[in-house]
Amino acid sequence: MSDKSSSLGPLAGAHLSKLAEAIANLSPSELIWASGYLFGLAQGAGGVAAVAGSAPVTTAQTTGSLTILVGTQTGNAKGVAESIKAKAEARGLPVSLVVMNDYKPKQLKKETHVLVVTSTYGEGEPPEAAVDLHGQLKAGKIGKLDGVQFGVLGLGDSSYEFFCQTAKDFDAFLEKAGATRLQDVATLDVDYRDAADAWANTFLDKLASALTVAAPAVAGTSGAVAAGHSAYDKFNPFTATLSTNQKITGRDSTKDIRHFEINLEGSGITYQPGDALGVWFDNDAAVVAEILALTGLTGDEQISVSAKTVSLRDALTTHFELTRSHAGFITGLAEISDNADLKALAADKDATRKLAANAQIVDVLKRYPTKLTAEQLSGLLRALSPRMYSIASSQSEVEEEVHLTVGVVRYPQEDGTVRSGGTSSFLADRVLEGGEVRVFVEHNDNFRLPADSNTPVIMVGPGTGIAPFRAFIQERDAQGAEGKNWLFFGNPHFTQDFLYQVEWQKYVKSGLLTKIDLAFSRDQAEKIYVQDKLKAKGAEVWHWLQDGAHFYVCGDANRMAKDVHEALVNIVAEHGGKNAEEAEEYVNELRRAKRYQRDVY
């Protein structure tokens, strides 16, 4: 038997066992905080454990501090920012973290060091939380930022044309305002975890040199799980049970929309209306087999994935992204392939991007068959990412369940085959009722019901955008809320696509749903959408806004949400007697006051 204690330093035996027991259930951020805490004790910073919630104990003065500003849509940016905050605290650096829509832009002038962590969505647009700060910096409204040092970390998806555009924008805006760049902007792809860690470590090294570093902080609540959050997250999902899979569109509908109910019993997971559920999935075995055949592989080949040796078939099923292609796959395949057409395509960035956006991995290989080794194939693929869905239920009503409203993605190919979306087809077709699904909650504090239940709300949610508003109305029902509720919903046909029709009728009958306006676009010669219904009721919408109503939008970002925003600005201009600039500023003030919130994708 070898003597392991020698490799573990001075700690061994009973002390080591107690330490292992104490840290067994800590999250990565808590472990980072704990390491700083123990280092602080070793340096004499406090001597005894401080009570949770007490002020951090430090032993030196600093010449500045770090403010981390977060622009997040799905929660990934916030997760990275929280990890960096924990790292900074472990080093004893004074640090605070603020989501951008909780931050007053003029405060930037008072900062010494700023780190922007942001995602990008749509056509290079800032996430909802970042819209105001982004706009004010872009317009130069904040003024000169001489003396401020900054860094920017961006998360994105390189298969999109405007990859990490918001991060690039912030980097340019801050420099133009006179701030000094501490480190080059990070533009990180979907598999960002290791790269974000490495960039953050380098950034904090530079920051530590710029500040008079205090001893690591002792105590505080930085590592604690916030109230209402659970131990399960993106990297540690809960294995739940799919209890209901119900199609809620008609037989003749052009859409296949499902209502899913997932049992969270035993997880301790809690969520609020407005939160999202992350769902991990396995790729379709038929698609995996097709990819193996097209590349001349058996699937039995052994490869290394996350420091583990697994079969290629298993890796393709559970680890790699197959339903979303990306430009790097096409250009990488072209370098390996002898196909002249593929090489010509890969040399054209626009053509490459277009193919990546419209074809899955298997379709690219089908068009350009290429014999590959297992290592070549795995080297071209990106890690699988979970999909996020707006939660369609309130825990006040469904308790240890969570409900989703999911449109199953299916689209025909030129050869007659039908491709399907990764998660939507996994839930609809490949997980039986009673089967297992790995999930986690992503909390979204940027899409919340008003704190005062007497406040009126206007909800605009066409298609599957109805999901969070089902949760909203269930919550308001459970609260006995007195505030008025107005729903705008749209879909192609009344008879086929009126999602949760019986429930909405029940809420109208009870008086909880004060008003409902429906836009079934294909039920008449002229197409009618939710934005048209909004404009038609503009005077009353303006009256509700004047009475303090909160305005919510959920659904498609690229078309619907933009059209609804334009309609809202026009309503304010027409019925509020404002010019275009004044109307836009009024809507921006609604956003700053969190009275205009969007959950768009």
Fold held by 285-380:
NADPH-cytochrome p450 Reductase; Chain A, domain 3 (1.20.990)
**Is the pLDDT at 22 greater than 70, yes or no?**
no
**Predicted pLDDT of residue 47:** 35
Instruction: Give SS3 for 383.
Output: strand
Q: Compare 88 and 14 and report the one with higher pLDDT.
A: 88
The model's pLDDT over 297-338, given as tens digits with 9 standing for 90+, comes to: 999 999 999 889 999 999 999 999 999 999 999 999 999 999
**pLDDT tens digit string along 161-173?**
889 999 999 999 9
- Are the CB atoms for 414 and 363 separated by under 8 Å? no
| pLDDT over 80 (residue 15) | no
pLDDT value of position 39: 43
Q: By the 8 A CB rule, do 214 and 92 touch?
A: yes
**Nearest-angstrom CA–CA distance, 204 and 191:** 21
- Cα 414 to Cα 391: distance, rounded to the nearest angstrom: 35
CA dist 547 and 567 (Å) reads 19
Q: At what angle do helices 467-479 and 501-510 cross, to 10 degrees?
A: 30
**215 has pLDDT over 80:** no
Burial of 109: CB neighbours in 10 Å, binned 0-12, 13-18, 19+ = middle
Mean pLDDT of 227-255: 90
Band the pLDDT of 122: cuts 50, 70, 90: confident
Q: Is there a contact between 187 and 154 (Cβ–Cβ < 8 Å)?
A: yes
Residue-range domain boundaries for the chain: 55-210, 238-281+386-442, 285-380, 457-600
Determine the angle formed by the axes of helices 538-546 and 560-576, rounding to 10 degrees. Answer: 80
Minimum mean pLDDT range among 49-53, 118-122, 158-162, 530-534 = 49-53
pLDDT of residue 62: 54
Please say if the pLDDT value at position 33 is more than 70: no
pLDDT digits (tens, 9 = 90+) for 286-302: 999 999 999 999 999 99
Domains 55-210 and 457-600 share a fold: yes
DSSP bridge pairs for 412: 418
* Consecutive H or E run containing 69: strand 66-71
Strand partners, 149: 113, 180
Asked if residue 200 has pLDDT above 80, the reply is: yes
User: Alpha carbon of 359 to those of 287, 351, 368, 380, 556: distances in Å?
Assistant: 13, 12, 12, 15, 21
Distance of CA 41 to the CA centre of its chain: 37
What per-residue confidence (pLDDT) applies to 158?
82
The rounded radius of gyration (Å) of the Cα atoms in the chain is: 26
**Local confidence band at 218 (pLDDT 50, 70, 90 cut-offs):** very low
**Does the pLDDT of residue 137 top 70, yes or no?**
yes
Helix (H) or strand (E) holding 437, with range, is strand 436-442
Contact 368, 337 (CB under 8 A): yes
Average pLDDT on 538-562 reads: 96
Q: Give me the amino acid identity at 375.
A: E
Query: What is the per-residue pLDDT for 417?
Result: 85
393-433 pLDDT, tens per residue? Answer: 999 999 999 999 999 999 888 778 889 999 999 999 999 99
Q: Are 391 and 403 in contact (CB under 8 A)?
A: yes
Lowest mean pLDDT across 222-226, 265-269, 345-349: 222-226
Asked if pLDDT for residue 360 goes beyond 50, the answer is yes
- What is the pLDDT confidence band of residue 59, given thresholds at 50, 70 and 90? very low
Write down the pLDDT at residue 467: 98
From CA 280, how far away is CA 70, in angstroms rounded? 25
DSSP, residue by residue, 94-143: -EEEEEGGGS-GGGGGG-SEEEEEEE-BTTTBPPGGGHHHHHHHHTT-S-
- Helix residue ranges, H only, 434-493: 467-479
CATH class of 238-281+386-442: mainly beta
Q: What are residue 551's phi and psi, to 5 degrees?
A: -115, 125
CA atoms of 289 and 317, how far apart (whole Å): 10
Q: What pLDDT score was predicted for residue 48?
A: 35
| Helix axes of 165-176 and 131-138: crossing angle, nearest 10 degrees | 40
Residues 558-588 pLDDT 10s: 899 999 999 999 999 999 999 999 999 999 9
Which residues contact residue 121 at a Cβ distance below 8 angstroms, ignoring those fewer than 6 apart? 73, 127, 557, 600, 601
Architecture in CATH of 457-600: 3-Layer(aba) Sandwich (3.40)
Determine what percent of the chain is predicted with pLDDT higher than 90: 79
User: Is 469 exposed, middle or buried, given 0-12, 13-18 or 19+ CB atoms closer than 10 A?
Assistant: buried
- Tell me the three state secondary structure of residue 263: strand
- Close Cβ partners of 142 (under 8 Å, ≥ 6 residues apart): 105, 106, 108, 109, 136, 177
pLDDT digits (tens, 9 = 90+) for 178-188: 999 999 999 99
Q: What is the pTM of this model?
A: 0.82
CATH architecture of the domain 55-210 equals: 3-Layer(aba) Sandwich (3.40)
Q: Please, what is the average pLDDT of the chain?
A: 88
- Average pLDDT value for residue range 340-344: 96
Query: What is the per-residue pLDDT for 16?
Result: 54
Q: What is the pLDDT of residue 160?
A: 80
Q: In this predicted structure, what is the pLDDT of residue 210?
A: 87
Query: At a CB cut-off of 8 Å and minimum separation 6, what does 38 contact?
Result: none
